[in-house]
Amino acid sequence: MSQAREHFVPSFQPLEVGTILSVSTGIAIVTGLPGVGFEELIEFPDGLLGIAFNIDVNEIGVVLLGDYSNLQAGDEVIRTGRVMDVGVGDGVLGRVIDPLGRPLDGLGIVHTAQRLPIEREAKAIMDRAPVTVPLQSGIKVIDALVPIGRGQRELILGDRKTGKTSIAIDTIINQRDHNVLCIYCAIGQRASAVAKVVADLRNHGALDYTVVMVSEGNSAPGLTYIAPYAATSIAEHFMEAGRDVLIVYDDLTQHARAYRELSLLLRRPPGREAFPGDVFYIHSRLLERATHLHQDLGGGSLTALPIIETEAQDISAYIPTNLISITDGQVYLSPNLFELGILPAVDVAKSVSRVGGKAQLGTYRSVVGTLKLDYSQFEELETFARFGTRLDETSKKTLNHGLRIRAYLKQAIFSPLTISAQICVLLALTSGVFDLIPIEKIVDAESALCNATSFIPVDMQRRFMTESTLSEDDRALLIQIIQTVLHSFLQVKN
């Protein structure tokens, strides 16, 4: 003990210590840190952290990342010399964590081997590869008409309670056999809503390959603000390791509101709808990090599904138009369709994928054909037919076909379809076989057809994934299987 005392050499490390001038809702004004940098972490009493946001000549505006109820004016603060980072790695899979990486699921410490800054530059253009591989959502209307590719950014928007989160959760559940890791980022959500999502993921075996990051509605606005950036850094770690990753931001409306709250408290100049002038930039720099990496960098991908809430179906509002201009397409959910029981309530006319058919399998694309055009013509003709106008045979045929397309596009929650089942049912629809079945029997006929996919030869199912088009022989065999399965339903009509 005495030898240890004799050989002990104290080390001196200079610390910049400041003082709290005032504390407000989610922010603190600090003075006395002349060397502090933008977005540097500052340590408050009891281990509370904050991010230096406003750096003025005489004071610093700090965004607090946690419970600030015990802070008082006059308390000392210390520079940390680092920026906000988050633990990444396989240890976070299957866990429910907050934006600081702390566990919320009661399963103990989250073990990570590496930490990454939450704010990182997006990949350079030359590091990116085209989006060509589909991300199958298992939802028929999306896979057929608004396809999503790995590395794409597809916005999901709609009014409250129209099924936006349900589409995202269904997509996560469908990745179970597609080797895609998933991250669900709940931003400013109610604890009960998050608990339901976690329970649904666990019940369907999806939690094992999913990270759930949660910022609850009663969390500090600083935590809500950093949540999507921290979740994206976790996703980027897997992407840079060559993995395919899907991230869901639910939802960025709450994120924009949290940033507006912080900006107004820090007395930044307000702009349109009291949002600060850089509200576009906070989302663009986030979503630009989603990409498909070049094969030289591992070929990993990060697919983003940001969710935005609209008010009174106004998709031309400030935040929705910002996100529409940033992303590569949008899936719009209509409350009118929701009220009519057409679920998922995807408005095909207002939904688009800017990657389009390039994000579909060749065989799938050859089966879809003119489905979107046929459905658009049906909706226009249906509106016209409501006036009681007498219709010719061609118009009646269009209406008859359109009703079956609408019935096909309906799908229950937590019931994603495999690629083989979708191709089989789509071919029955586009080839006109479904047109001969009574509309009230379509659901049963579709279910029977999905169950019959086990009769499709394994080598043909393999060709669905690799071939550029559906060959005539494969098409003929599929039509034969379809007619055999649906024969009893045809007899019912007769």
Catalytic residues: 354
DSSP-assigned letters across all residues of 125-164: GGGB----SB---S-HHHHHHS--BTT-B-EEEESTTSSH
Report the distance separating Cα 325 and Cα 421, nearest Å.
Answer: 34
Q: What are phi and psi of 437, to 5 degrees?
A: -100, 135
C-beta separation of 426 from 144 below 8 A: yes
C-beta separation of 232 from 286 below 8 A: yes
Angle 247-205-343 (CA atoms, 0-180°, nearest 5)? Answer: 65
C-beta separation of 448 from 486 below 8 A: yes
Tokens, residue 113: 């081997």
Which of the 8 DSSP states describes residue 122? Answer: P
C-beta separation of 404 from 434 below 8 A: yes
Report the distance separating Cα 38 and Cα 32, nearest Å.
Answer: 15
Beta carbons within 10 angstroms of residue 111's beta carbon: 11
C-beta separation of 129 from 299 below 8 A: yes
Question: How many residues can be counted in the chain?
Answer: 494
Report the distance separating Cα 1 and Cα 428, nearest Å.
Answer: 85
Indicate the burial class of 218 (C-beta count within 10 angstroms; 0-12, 13-18, 19 or more). exposed
- Amino acid letter at 375? Y
Which residues on adjacent β-strands are paired with residue 301? 244, 292
At 286, which helix (H) or strand (E)?
Answer: helix 279-287
Coil, strand or helix: which one is 211?
Answer: strand
Indicate the burial class of 6 (C-beta count within 10 angstroms; 0-12, 13-18, 19 or more). exposed
Which of 347, 313, 317, 314 is CA-nearest to residue 331? 347
C-beta separation of 434 from 445 below 8 A: yes
Q: What is the dihedral of CA 199, 205, 206, 210, to 10 degrees?
A: 90
Report the distance separating Cα 209 and Cα 163, nearest Å.
Answer: 23
